[in-house]
Amino acid sequence: MNEQTDAAAPPRTRTAPVDPRLLRYARASRGFFVLIALIALAQTATIVAFAWLLTAVITGALDGTSVAEQARLLAFLGLVAVARALLLWAREAIAARAAARVQTQLRTALVDAVSSLGAGWLAGRNSAHLSVTGGRGLDALEAYFGRYLPQLVQTVIATPILVAVMWWFDWISGLTVLLTLPLIPVFMILIGLATQSVQRTQWQTLQRLAARFSDTVEGLSTLKVFGRQHRAVASIESVTDEYRRQTMRVLRVSFLSGFALEFFASISVAIVAVSIGFRLIDGSLLLGVGLFVLLLAPEAYLPLRQVGVQFHAASEGAAATNDVFDVLDAAREHPRGDGAATTIAPPALDADVTVSLSHVRARRGDRLLAPVTLTATPGSVTVIEGPSGAGKTSVLAALLGTVEFEGEITLRAPDRTLDAASVPAASWLAWAGQRPGLVSGTVAENVALGDNAADADLVTRALDLACITEVSPTMSLGVQGSGLSGGQAQRVAIARAFYRHLRGRGPVIALDEPSAALDAATESRLWRNVRALADAGATVLVVSHRTSVRAIADQVVTLSPPAPAPAGGVA
């Protein structure tokens, strides 16, 4: 189970209507705002023109204007209505296209940021949370871009213009709107704060549900063996029910805000209408002016009301972008979270690589493990053994760059000597960990993962070396490699490491407990094959509890058990 840092991290609350980080990380949003602003200006012009022409048609009918003049006014009114519809279509089309581009840019930036931060940073995060954020979360940007942001821009542009036009024709109505208009944003802010709180809680519950479900699926076989699957089901059911309650709470707040905004807007328009009516009766206001201003009054309140409505539809996308921006901010502040250099990597190391560890102390939490010094040469098998907790896996994690460590790791090739921290592990290390890390697809695709031009013969040979000949390379696997037993999945992961070595992309092979799920006969075959790869020139490091691996070892490095924590201290 890996639900850890994400759940504990305090959420960053978005205090501005538009997060300025959006303009920084999504270049497509900049042109989007310019186009939407121009369309909003044109829409405002059509609103004023429509109200003016409709007023002219009504007053003309009452004054007995000629049929030709009325027909001309109606034709213009129709053209304005068509223009207004076209502008609305253009706004939606631009918003949809911008949302798609921003989604792509943010997803790409998120992947690049995770890569830049390094595996060490990723190991402390919940991958299910990141998956939900980069998947469903960014999909919700469609509502954020398609509805909320265009309406926000429309409000900023249209409302002041409409109030100014009303003031120009009837200052009393303009003043009434100006005094009552702030009631809507005040209640929007109050309701918006409550909405952000419940929406953030709902979003975190969804992330927790995704993490719980992912962990349960991954460990389902273990849970069934120990008869704990029912507790896992009950746990998922509990989180699902909590998500349902949070969703209903968000809906209640949404309906409440919608009612409040509609109520205050209707009351405000009614005040304007009553004022106009009394002044029409006493003759202090012309019918044409009163009708024109009355037609504009609802339009002055409408943008603010729509912003409140669309805020709820876009809140999930806004919450997801906050999480994405936090990751991107972390990448800007710490370009390489694992301490690796950011310079251009040297060419991949092809063969005959000697790995030297000098007083390497991996960090686990707040303490350092015992120092490890060893030299693994081409053609040799180095076995790392020791009791649980001694740091065997941490040694391989230091090679991978997924943990912080003190000391020095050096790579020596015939033509150069390099600090391992300056070379991506993928350019020299073929690794298989305790968790297979399989993905949906065929067995062959999992073995040749990352190879755009897979060699089918090498895939077959790698599977044979990993003692997994009973599985066809064309067999399709489900999510996380479902369809294989635990031992088969482990051997497919080992075959992936062997394939990478045979392909010339990993002169150093590192295996972490490769025979943990194997029977004695299969384990013996695997050790013979590992020995054969070493004899062919590979540099092999094996972490194992099994004493049988000593039969193929050239050197055995035994790690000391961890020192007991001081009384009252942290282990």
pLDDT tens-digit series, residues 449-468: 888 888 889 999 999 999 98
Residue 365 pLDDT level (bands cut at 50, 70, 90): low
Tell me the domain boundaries of the chain.
13-333, 354-558
Half-sphere exposure of 284 (CA within 13 A, CB side): 9
pLDDT attached to residue 511: 92
pLDDT for 7 beyond 50: no
pLDDT > 70: percent of the chain: 74
pLDDT tens, position by position, 211-228: 666 666 666 666 666 666
Fold of 13-333: ABC transporter transmembrane region fold (1.20.1560)
- In angstroms, the CA 561 to CA 278 distance is 91
CA distances, 291 to each of 55, 316, 513 (Å): 6, 41, 83
- In angstroms, the CA 369 to CA 120 distance is 17
Please check whether residue 399 is in contact with residue 440, taking contact to mean a CB–CB distance below 8 angstroms: no
pLDDT attached to residue 437: 82
Positive or negative, the CA dihedral 368, 373, 375, 376 is negative
Q: Which CATH superfamily is domain 354-558 in?
A: P-loop containing nucleotide triphosphate hydrolases (3.40.50.300)
Residue 520 pLDDT level (bands cut at 50, 70, 90): confident
- Please tell me the pTM assigned to this model: 0.56
Residue 8 pLDDT level (bands cut at 50, 70, 90): very low
pLDDT tens, position by position, 53-72: 888 888 888 877 778 888 88
- In angstroms, the CA 137 to CA 318 distance is 8
Question: Minimum mean pLDDT among 92-106, 153-167, 189-203: which range?
Answer: 189-203
Report which DSSP code applies to 519: -
Question: Minimum mean pLDDT among 102-106, 112-116, 156-160, 188-192: which range?
Answer: 188-192
Q: 522-529: long-range contacts (C-beta < 8 A, 24 or more apart)? A: 522/467, 522/487, 523/548, 524/548, 525/467, 526/466, 526/467, 526/491, 526/494, 527/551, 527/552, 528/552, 529/465, 529/466, 529/467
- In angstroms, the CA 290 to CA 285 distance is 6
- Work out whether strand 508-512 and strand 539-543 pair parallel, antiparallel, or are unpaired: parallel
pLDDT tens, position by position, 325-341: 777 777 777 655 444 43
Mean per-residue pLDDT, 551-567: 75
Residue 178 pLDDT level (bands cut at 50, 70, 90): confident
